[in-house]
Chain A
Amino acid sequence: MASGGDRVNIDPRASDAADGRPDHGDRSGGPARAGGRARPGAAGAPDRPGLSVDVSLSFGETRIAAAFEVQPGFPLAIIGPNGAGKSSLLSAIAGLVPLDSGEIAIGSRRVDGLPSEQRRVGMVFQDYVLFPHLNVRDNVAFAARMRGSRAAARAAAQPWLERYDLVALADRLPSELSGGQRQRAALARALAAEPDVLLLDEPMSALDVEVRAEMRAELATHVRDFGGATVLVTHSPADAARLADSVLVLEHGRVTQRGTLEAIRADPATPYVRRLLAASDD
């Protein structure tokens, strides 16, 4: 019921992992992560849980229904026109908007009954929503601060600041950062909480066009390093191509197509998808 339009239902795991992954041209790593720094958390650990979603919810007048699974290390991009309910769906997974019905599970753990703070779902918001009254260090330390002292939280934040190249910016307020720096800080803040699932809401939309390609490549590396189940909302096929293994198209609250970008490109199911893929991206 919840999942509309099961046209091409592929499990990214079923396909060849190497083919399913985005093109990792920068696999050797940018300068920021050369030298084999210690990775905070269990990045890329094989025992990361997957995400399973089968929900319906309301967004204004729109009823949203979707069902999908995301395996760790195989990011899913939800793509669709404005007002399709993409961000609401993401917020529902994070526990920020209520469900009408359905289930959300992370591994074997049902989370739909849990408040947001107990779900272990990290979220990078559209335009990042850093805490404006805290500097970068305290933003990244926020999750640890909720569990312990300020000193302990700052100490715990240090490897994340190093990992995301934020040490030089640690004492700055978010208002003093560029768009790309904000994105890094928001990602570090979310991942420092060591979530099981990472959600990215239009991560590139707040960036200037000139830096998008570069930031997209950087983000792809971070997402891969995270290694857990990742869901990305975007309206850009370029983002989907670069950051995700498979794509789910959401139109007016219904899933109209799913599969790899290549498969969708080969056989667009709706006029929207056709127009989207025909338009030049960025």
Chain B
Amino acid sequence: MTRTPRTTLRAATGLAAAALVALALAGCATSGGDEDPNASTPPTESTVNLEAAEVTVLAAASLTEAFDDLATQFEAANPSVEITVSYGGSGALATQIIEGAPADVFASAAEAPMQQVVDAGLATDPVVFATNTLELVVPAGNPAGVTGLDDLANPDLRIALCDESVPCGAASAKLLANEGITPAPDTLESDVKAVLTKVSLGEVDAALVYRTDVQAAGDDVEGIKVPAAADVVNRYPIAAITDPSSDASDAQIAAAAAFVAFVTGDAGRETLDAYGFGTP
């Protein structure tokens, strides 16, 4: 009879001890991330005196190169802030945020996933900061002799497209529908980078990806401009995540807002331009 309560008490004590250790470790991690506040920082327009904070950014896969660059620039300007960017399909990222994944900033490749997050009450007033259009992409040397969108209907060619459930796939479907083309894809990939990889490896003869991806892929692939693509523009919104139940510190919220301002500001514009994104 005496065993049960005692065991419970002991177990509770043990758990409490474990929790204390976890808290202590978390404290160490925070103070460890603290940079020297007196370090000289190059004064830029976006430099506010930010307190130490770690900011988690969830961004669409097509933003990979541009946001890696932006994060580095922002950290150089604000040494007390550490930016972690995680990339994925916009829809999956939106689901993760709604399911409570820790995120301070969300940059989506389309407006629908952002709207889901806004509808869930986790973001307000997203800002469209970039646009993107589709381009045909073929392996270097264009071995299959692809010339235009019509080739995507050729069942003899290996074709990769984004699945319609992700923004690049939705855009591809719209573009092909506009042109009256029924594609013959061999695979419908879950994100645009996966499509691009299959092109760089030469596993497919042609694919539709964003022109920024063609630019980022370098010499492994060749882009073929598609005039009709100008009518199907992907708009990229960004917003800070404002989860009322989150335990984000004020410093973290301020840093997240500063990063959003940085991306939507002139420096961000310049960088995004360099990676081939259009101006909204």
In the complex, A touching B (Cβ < 8 A): no
Q: Could you tell me which B residues sit within 8 Å of A by CB distance?
A: none
Q: Could you tell me which A residues sit within 8 Å of B by CB distance?
A: none
